[in-house]
Structure 1
């Protein structure tokens, strides 16, 4: 079972993405305990299911709910999560390429070391998640919110983060080199030791958060700050 992750600032979670999502879901029962290649799973609840270290090619989940489900070490290609909820799940070490997540909510889950490269996220909320050392290189985000997440050393290199909101997140040591970030917003976040700080052109940052950027900005401009 995955570790429960406590958010930095606990708050009541919002209602599910769709009122129909939690109602009358079929309990997940996978043939031979595995995912079928190019398989599609709809209106299913996966509770306490172990899907670790799987190879999942072309797997689609639509209208599903995952609770205490483990995807750690699983490799996914050309997959999709649409209108889904993941609660207290373990995605640590999971890798995904050209996979999409649309209209989704991921809460109180462990994403440590997860790598989703060249993926697409639209209308997604990550809340109260542990996402240290997570990689989102070359991925595209639209209408995405990261809230109360621990994300030290997350890698957003060359990602499209236009309009993304980071609220109450620890982003110490985050990598933003080559990212597109116009319209992104940071509120009450830790922004120490950020790499690729010049990519933050066009973002909005609260004044108290900006203090953490001083050393990163100075380093990017070749300025030495003495005590």
Structure 2
């Protein structure tokens, strides 16, 4: 008798960061090729325009001004960013595992080529943020504005964008099958065909249908 192949269970919620019960104070300045282990950093930490090979382990960073900073070789594990401003920050090819962004500004930030595992983005502003060619596993984005975001060639597994503004976001060549989009705005999305296999609610049928008709070149006329 042939065996029935069991479907792989879907991971609905990312694993949370494993943070210590007691943190150590942060250094005054972020330096290149530095490991932060169990550090609690605030807004007073000086961050240069370019930081190379920073490794965050079981850290918490609150109220940081990281606007326009370029982080090359960034690695973060079990780390929480709270009320931080990363507008225009460059985190290309970063490796993030069990990381959360809560009430942060990510407008225009770039995560191109990043590896995101068990990442949670909650109540953030992330318009025009780029996730080009990023690889995301168990990523949950909720209550966040991603208007005009660039998700070109994003590979998403067990991911969800819930109650987000995805208006005018670009999904060209993204692999999104199984991604949950419930409660999110899908007006004028680009690359709508790449949303094949995603999961939506009934109230999202019209805006997504309009986007698909546009891709197919279907015109609605009076006769």
When the two structures are superposed, what TM-score results if normalisation uses the length of structure 1?
A: 0.87
Aligned counterpart in structure 2 of residue 201 of structure 1, from 196, 203, 206: 196
State the structure with more CA Rg: 2
Native 8 Å contact 1:50 1:71 kept in 2 = no
Query: Over the residues paired in the alignment, what is the CA RMSD in angstroms?
Result: 1.8
Q: 1:29-52 deviations in whole A, cap 9, x for unaligned?
A: 23xx2x221111110011113555
Aligned to 2:27: 29
Segment drifting more, 41-50 vs 187-196: 41-50
Q: Give 2:41's match in structure 1, choosing from 39, 46, 54.
A: 46
Query: Which blocks of at least 5 consecutive residues in structure 2 are unaligned?
Result: 1-15
Q: Is the 8 A contact 2:148 2:166 kept in 1?
A: yes
Give the superposition deviation at 1:97.
2.0
Counterpart CA distance in 2 for 1:82 and 1:208 is 37
Shift of residue 214 of structure 1?
2.1
Partner residue of 2:166?
A: 171
Q: CA separation in 1, counterparts of 2:53 and 2:47?
A: 17
CA distance in 2, matches of 1:51, 1:123: 28
**Structure 2 residue aligned with 1:85:** 80
Displacement of 1:166 after TM fit?
0.9
Where 2:111 maps in the other structure, the secondary structure is strand
Note the C-alpha offset of 1:79: 1.1
Paired with 1:27 and 1:124, the residues of 2 have a C-alpha distance of: 24
Unaligned runs of 5+ in 1: 1-15
TM-score by length of 2: 0.88
Q: Which residue does the alignment assign to 1:210?
A: 205
Provide, for residues 140-161 of structure 1, a one-character-per-residue CA deviation record: whole Å limited to 9, x for no partner: 0000000000110011001112
1:117-149 deviation per Cα after TM superposition (whole angstroms, max 9, x unaligned): 111100011000000010010100000000000
- Tell me the secondary structure at the aligned position of residue 186 of structure 1: coil
3-state SS of the aligned residue for 1:166? strand
